[in-house]
Chains A and B, each alone.
Chain A
Amino acid sequence: MTGLWIVIGIVVVLAIAVAVSYNRFVRQRNLVQESWRQVDVELTRRHELVPNLVETVKGYATHEREVFESVTRARAAAAAPGASPAEQAKQEGVLGQALGRLFAVAEAYPDLKASTNFLELQRQLTETEDRIAAGRRFYNANVRALNTRVESVPSNVIAGMFGFHQAEYFEVQDESVRTAPTVDFS
């Protein structure tokens, strides 16, 4: 009889442990999704700023068609819905490089550099980049916490049983989009 109680006790403890682990996985998965949505909101804001920026630069630098087209193409690719974090990171890298060329063009036009509209757009872009960087850090920290549990023993057993998978990191490879774009106005 005592043996039976011990077995029942072990089963109850195991059931509680499984429930706690499962619920923690659910919380972590939701946190990863929520933090990605926050990044996505800021990326959308960045994409929305780009057309205004291109139009402003166009007003001063009319002969830089190739640069404008590359920014527009990169922006369209980055703004396309349905990309995974890794794909999105790649597109953002391309857009960052294109924006870098656009700002390099702006350097050659003193009137553009002094334009209030351009300065304001640049300030907004800088702020958005800061928000993206902070959002990326938070998202990646949550992904790392989830992935560690998916891979670790014994939580990997629960992950396997209930179909919890590793999430993708949002790693921006291009240095120009890791930090806010800067333009020398001296």
Chain B
Amino acid sequence: MNLALLVVLAIVVVGTIAVISYLMDKKRRERLMQYAVMRGWTYAAEDNSLVGRWQGEPFGRGDHQRAQNVLTGSESGRRFTAFDYSYQTHSTDSKGNRSTTTHHWTVCAVPMPAWLGVVQVVPESVFERMAGAVGLMQDIDLESEDFNRRYRVTAGNPKLASDLLPPRTMEHLLTVDVGGWRTCGGDMVGFREGRLDPLELIKTAAVLGRVLDGVPAFVWKDAGAPGTEYSPGP
């Protein structure tokens, strides 16, 4: 087989993969758009103003950060913004070959009644559990051992983390799988690896809403929320 034929074959394979990938992305976008219309949400193909809106995982990593397939709307009386977030990282092997990896995340942000300090709750890996146990990594322990084993809680103010996670909220978080979430400025931001799935999005928005509903009224009052008490969603 001569070299020219190999090159042609390679071009055909790469081209086919590119076309299939494009068509799959197009189909997915159309499905998201249809779903948005059906639920009364709005859809935008891309809104990169969202890329720099929040700090912490998964934002601020790599380059070529993009916010695509942006869905905004309301679920169970609670507003949300959700989108596909991606960024690229690069590595070079020992032979000098540079490779690029695109990382895909799903982000869902729900506005809070007031700005709070940062509290982050993420599923805990075995390594993180061990590091937390010997004090090498912050992991705020609460009264539920099951919760402590499943999630790693970090916060600038541990009391705020405790206030945000009363027993009922912890119990609920043990029954669902929503990835990680963090209070970030005036929003509660849920994030997980993978691409946006509308059904997962509804579930995530509901869980974040439930966490917010469980926050004691005095937390919002101390944070200067408008009105004396926060009125939870229906």
**Chain A residues in the interface with B (C-beta under 8 A):** 20-21, 24, 31, 35, 38, 127, 130-131, 134-135, 137-138, 140-141, 144-145
Does A130 lie within 8 Å of B143, measured CB to CB? no
Does B135 lie within 8 Å of A138, measured CB to CB? no
Query: Knowing A31-B158, A127-B218 touch, does A134 contact B163 (C-beta < 8 A)?
Result: yes
Known: A127-B218, A137-B143. 11 other contacts (CB 8 A): A20-B134, A31-B158, A38-B159, A130-B218, A134-B163, A138-B162, A141-B142, A141-B143, A144-B141, A144-B143, A145-B141
**Chain B residues in the interface with A (C-beta under 8 A):** 134-135, 141-143, 158-159, 162-163, 166, 216-218, 221
A138 CB, min distance to chain B CBs, angstroms: 4
Q: Considering the chains assembled together, what is the distance between the CA atoms of A21 and B135 in angstroms?
A: 8
Does B218 lie within 8 Å of A131, measured CB to CB? yes
Cβ 8 A contact of A141, one of B135, B141, B216, B218: B141
Closest-by-CB residue of A relative to B221 is A127
B140 CB, min distance to chain A CBs, angstroms: 8
Does B159 lie within 8 Å of A127, measured CB to CB? no
Q: Considering the chains assembled together, what is the distance between the CA atoms of A140 and B141 in angstroms?
A: 11
Question: Could you tell me the dominant secondary structure of chain A's interface residues?
Answer: helix
Cβ 8 A contact of A138, one of B134, B158, B218: B158
Q: Considering the chains assembled together, what is the distance between the CA atoms of A137 and B159 in angstroms?
A: 9
Query: Knowing A144-B143, A145-B141 touch, does A134 contact B217 (C-beta < 8 A)?
Result: no
Q: Which residues of B contact A20 (CB under 8 A)?
A: 134-135
10 tightest CB-CB pairs across the interface, nearest first? A138-B162, A24-B135, A145-B141, A138-B159, A134-B163, A130-B216, A131-B218, A141-B143, A141-B142, A130-B218
24 A-B contacts (beta carbon < 8 Å): A21-B135, A31-B158, A35-B159, A38-B159, A127-B217, A127-B218, A127-B221, A130-B217, A130-B218, A134-B162, A134-B163, A134-B216, A134-B218, A135-B159, A137-B143, A137-B162, A137-B166, A138-B158, A138-B159, A138-B162, A141-B141, A141-B143, A141-B162, A145-B141
